[in-house]
Chains A and B, each alone.
Chain A
Amino acid sequence: MDLATAVEAGARGLLLGVGALTPGHVLMLAIGCLLLFLGIRKGFEPLLLVPIGFGAILVNIPLAGLMEPGGVLRTFYDAGVLTEIFPILIFIGIGAMTDFGPLLENPRILLLGAAGQFGIFLTLLLALLLKFSLVEAVAIGIIGACDGPTAIYVASKYAPHLLGAVSVAAYSYMSLVPLIQPPIMRALTTESEKRVVMGSVQRSAAPTAKLVFPIATTIVTSIIAPLGTPLMGMVMLGNLLKEAGAVERLRLASQNEIANIVTLLLGISIGATMGADRFLRVETLMVLALGFIAIGLDTATGVLFGKLMCALPVWPRLRGSATTRRTTSSCTPWAPTPGGRSARSWPRPSCSRS
């Protein structure tokens, strides 16, 4: 081989990737960069959107083969997402970060959270009407739970081919809750309801009650819904580590090391499902639209149920507060913030009006 042939072969090799680049790849690289921008510059769920965005970039590099059998992202995906291990481990961290004291203080508020779940089922119905299969409809409807790990768990279990779209929708809309919910809440509440002032928690539950709660809840809810045991069991295990006080190292590991490592691997794995050939489909747009509807319906039904609770005298402690409490309770009630504090505070209502 002479020098000219060698140079030509080398140059051709260098340009192989460019030649294999399709408009779909370019679009997905742009979407990956957009997710990075939203996570880094706008602060929208950065812990997940950053690895998801970078995973989307990696998987759309032509000829890199990261999601081919044996590829590094494929290995993460098969080991952690297909087996459901990653979302399950995330739930231990969620449990370890969550304080159920306010919930124990006022358990009736659970019903408000339940009302918000109407959005899940109404979206499931819409998805069925749009010709999604039942399992796909379940995966799409769960976006209305406003809880990323739950959405990931359900999607990976029932419709792994929709995992990328469902995850992106769930985390994007969760970040946009402050924009999505207020117009719906304003439209559905009266002026007097808007003037309701929420009180604050006066006292928490007894330490023993907080310690027994995760054990008793695991047993009761798992008997009622055995298929939910992996999620509920892990949340409650994490919470038991927190409340036990005797296993500080495990609590700290669950809250920090395990949660952080799994969040990183989970995010990259989800991003890896966003290959151009799988993501750029009409059904992805439909999932995003249905996810938006799910959160809107979720909000609306939660507000309406809050109004009902305000109107009925059977919940005197909730009167005057249920409607405005809607923002903190209609979505999955125990999701903590990345900083480790509970994002949902359920204070004792004061029923006062300004």
Chain B
Amino acid sequence: MIGSELTLGLTLAVIGMGGTLLSLWLLSLLIVLLKRLFPLDKEGAAGPG
């Protein structure tokens, strides 16, 4: 019984952490893409003043 709970817990931990890391890696890629599409220097130059 404990073995099955341990298996379930470990499976959830592996899948959960894998999913978390994968999701955040994708999110970091999205941020990099946004920064390339909208660079600060370009907007800064076109900004006020």
Chain A interface residues (CB < 8 Å from chain B): 103-104, 107-108, 110-111, 113-114, 117-118, 120-122, 124-126, 128-129, 134, 137, 203-209, 212-213, 216-217, 220-221, 224-225
Contact = CB atoms under 8 A, between A and B. Distances in A.
Interface string B23-46: 111111011101101111011100
Interface in B1-36: 2, 5-6, 8-10, 12-13, 16-17, 19-21, 23-28, 30-32, 34-35
A216 B30 contact: yes
Given A117-B17, A120-B16, A209-B35, A111 B24 contact: yes
Q: Considering residues A113, A204, A205, A206, which has the most beta carbons from chain B within 10 angstroms of its beta carbon?
A: A206
A78 B44 CA distance: 49
Given A107-B32, A225-B23, A206 B43 contact: yes
Nearest to A219: B30
Contact of A124 (B9, B21, B35, B43): B9
B26 A224 contact: yes
Interface majority SS (helix, strand, loop, mixed), chain A: helix
Nearest to B28: A107
Given A113-B24, A206-B42, A216-B30, 11 more contacts: A107-B27, A107-B28, A110-B25, A117-B20, A121-B9, A121-B17, A124-B12, A124-B13, A125-B9, A129-B2, A208-B38
B43 A207 contact: yes
Contacts of B19: 225
A103 B34 CA distance: 12
Given A121-B12, A124-B13, A221-B23, A111 B28 contact: yes
Interface residues of B, number: 31
Contacts, number: 93
A208 B43 contact: yes
A126 B38 CA distance: 45
A111 B21 contact: yes
Given A111-B21, A118-B17, A221-B27, A206 B35 contact: yes
Given A107-B32, A128-B9, A203 B16 contact: no
Given A121-B13, A212-B38, A220 B26 contact: yes
A120 B17 CA distance: 9
A113 to B, nearest CB: 7
Q: Which 8 A-B pairs have the closest CB atoms?
A: A125-B9, A121-B13, A107-B28, A107-B31, A209-B38, A208-B38, A206-B43, A110-B24
